């Protein structure tokens, strides 16, 4: 079985071809980093236009690299959400067109499920497993019970961890994207120099909060002499990164207890999403998993950031179960993995500028 995967939920244009034998025949990602860097973040209209400019050519290159034609496809998997709605529409409409012309099934993939199942592309891990999903727009702890079957244990009540990395990097003048920039600077820094808060640390439950940490970084930067020295940048970056890792570890401890009580046969902790590329976070989670009798599985870096291989693999998993979609599948800006989950306590409450979540 060969499935074409298309990813266009944000600012990465991607196409990949994956088989049901876990073979990645092609995996291409075209970054829009230079297009958005001057603005310090992703501009939705620019992202959608760049997808239009490059997606067709990228798919053609992927097919050529894999050495196959459209007539050899068994299915087309395209991200249908969540994400920037204009960007999502470009990839989904392209996938629909290919599926219609080639007369193969369309699989409208939840981008978050792509991250959730990416670990199964590199290893034959069994369900259920515990997932820490951390990216620029999402921060959740879930029990992955099967394809399309998720039970959310916790989520962010305000900002996602990736957003906090981006804002902290911007305040420090380290550039965009913030995650890699913070990690590079933190290598030369002293994480003990500044005492930053650990929101919700030590409390019951598995929810996250990063808005207060962002505000603390803002006040800290404003208290330091301008312009910031390289030493100040490194020390603030290290202190911030350590605070995030502490919060992630603390929240995951609570999730592991719930997971082991509900699914004692589960043996794996998976961390996925863009922030999962952070080395310190991986090290902390590995130690935590081993201490609790679990194995940690973190996909390779190329599968942590947005990519089409995970979308194609999700297409393989769903197609194998007969879970396909019609050509009337709708793009979605929001698409929770666990639609039955209650809103996190405290989320959505208005502040000075209105609701955050």
Average pLDDT over residues 77-83: 97
In the chain, alpha helices (H):
33-36, 44-66, 85-102, 111-122, 161-171, 178-186, 211-223, 230-262, 279-291, 301-304, 309-320
Question: Does residue 345 have a pLDDT over 80?
Answer: no
Percent of the chain residues topping a pLDDT of 70: 97
Question: Does residue 17 have a pLDDT over 70?
Answer: yes
Q: How far apart are CA 252 and CA 270, in angstroms?
A: 11
Question: Does residue 348 have a pLDDT over 90?
Answer: no
- Phi and psi based region of residue 134 (left: phi greater than 0; alpha: psi -120 to 50; beta: remaining): beta
**Structural domains of the chain sorted by starting position, each given as residue range(s) with its CATH number in brackets:** 2-117+303-320 (3.30.420.40), 126-302+341-355 (3.30.420.40)
Burial group, residue 240, by CB count within 10 angstroms (0-12, 13-18, 19+):
buried
Q: How far apart are CA 150 and CA 138, in angstroms?
A: 15
Q: How far apart are CA 212 and CA 190, in angstroms?
A: 21
Predicted pLDDT of residue 350: 57
Over the stretch 161-206, which tens digit does the pLDDT of each residue have? 999 999 999 999 998 889 999 999 999 999 999 999 999 999 999 9
Pairwise pLDDT comparison (22 vs 301), residue with the higher score? 22
Average pLDDT over residues 242-259: 97
Over the stretch 196-234, which tens digit does the pLDDT of each residue have? 999 999 999 999 999 999 999 999 999 999 999 999 999
Identify whether 82 is preceded by a cis peptide bond (ω within 30 of 0): yes
Contact 136, 160 (CB under 8 A): yes
Q: How far apart are CA 230 and CA 232, in angstroms?
A: 6
Average pLDDT over residues 291-301: 95
Over the stretch 85-108, which tens digit does the pLDDT of each residue have? 999 999 999 999 999 999 999 999
Distance of CA 330 to the CA centre of its chain: 21
Predicted pLDDT of residue 356: 47
DSSP bridge partners of 188: none
Predicted pLDDT of residue 357: 43
Percent of the chain residues topping a pLDDT of 90: 88
Over the stretch 110-168, which tens digit does the pLDDT of each residue have? 999 999 999 999 999 999 999 999 987 889 999 999 999 999 999 999 999 999 999 99
Please enumerate in sequence order all residues whose Cβ is within 8 A of that of 9, keeping only pairs 6 or more positions apart, or say none. 79, 81, 82, 83, 84, 87, 88, 91, 111, 306
- Confidence class for position 280, pLDDT limits 50, 70, 90: very high
């Amino acid at each position: 079985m060969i499935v074409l995967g298309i990813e266009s939920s944000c600012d990465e244009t991607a196409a990949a071809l994956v088989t049901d034998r876990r073979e990645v025949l092609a995996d291409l990602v075209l970054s829009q980093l230079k297009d958005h860097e001057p603005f310090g973040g992703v501009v939705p209209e620019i992202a959608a236009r760049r997808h239009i400019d490059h997606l067709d050519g990228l798919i053609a290159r992927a097919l050529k690299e894999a050495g196959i034609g459209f007539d050899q496809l068994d299915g087309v998997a395209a991200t249908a959400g969540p994400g920037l709605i204009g960007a999502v529409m470009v990839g989904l409409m392209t996938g629909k067109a290919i599926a219609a012309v080639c007369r193969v099934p369309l699989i409208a993939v939840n981008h978050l499920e792509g991250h959730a199942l990416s670990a199964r592309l590199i290893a034959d891990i069994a369900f259920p497993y515990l997932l820490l999903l951390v990216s620029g727009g999402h921060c959740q702890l879930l029990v992955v019970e099967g394809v399309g079957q998720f039970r959310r244990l916790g989520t962010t009540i305000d900002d996602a961890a990736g957003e906090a990395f981006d804002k902290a990097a911007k305040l420090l003048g380290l550039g965009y994207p913030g995650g890699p920039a913070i990690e590079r600077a933190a290598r030369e820094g002293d994480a003990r120099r500044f005492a930053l808060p650990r929101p919700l640390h030590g409390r019951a439950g598995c929810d996250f909060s990063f808005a207060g940490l962002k505000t603390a970084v803002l006040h800290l930067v404003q208290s330091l002499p301008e312009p910031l020295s390289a030493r100040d940048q490194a020390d603030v970056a290290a202190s911030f990164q350590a605070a995030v890792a502490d919060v992630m570890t603390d929240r995951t401890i609570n999730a592991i207890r719930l997971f082991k009580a509900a699914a004692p046969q589960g043996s794996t902790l998976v961390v996925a999403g863009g922030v999962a590329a952070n080395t310190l976070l991986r090290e902390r989670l590995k130690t935590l998993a081993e201490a609790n009798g679990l194995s940690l599985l973190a996909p390779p870096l190329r599968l942590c950031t947005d990519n089409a291989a995970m979308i194609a693999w999700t297409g393989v998993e769903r197609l194998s179960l007969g879970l396909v979609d019609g050509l009337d599948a709708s793009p979605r800006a929001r698409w929770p993995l666990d639609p039955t989950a209650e809103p996190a306590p405290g989320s959505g409450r208005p502040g000075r500028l209105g609701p955050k979540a």
